[in-house]
Amino acid sequence: MVIPEPPITTPKPVAVTSTPADTATSKGTSTTPSMPIPAKSAYKNCSQVIAAGKGPIKRGEPGWADWLDHDGDGVACFPKKR
């Protein structure tokens, strides 16, 4: 039995506001979220990448997301050898 995967959803951006008490902005550094917001077209997992015939994908290519690259080398979702 094949269970369909849920649709890809991305979190909505959160507005970052600063106050006079915020020392990071008073020093001229930017306040950015600690984790970059993924692209809207990012794949949820490598199964989706392989099913789309796109594996392996490299950092910067459409569909890329950091969570797909388990070893951090910039290349993710290698097709399995038969």
- Per-domain boundaries in the chain: 36-82
The pTM assigned to this predicted structure is 0.48
User: Angle CA(39)–CA(70)–CA(63) in degrees, nearest 5?
Assistant: 25
Identify the residue whose tokens are 């910067």.
60
Can you give the pLDDT of all 82 residues of the chain as single tens digits? 666 676 666 666 666 665 555 444 445 555 554 555 555 678 999 999 999 998 899 999 999 999 999 999 999 998 877 6
Identify the residue whose tokens are 């930017």.
30
CA 39, CA 30: separation in Å to the nearest integer?
Answer: 21
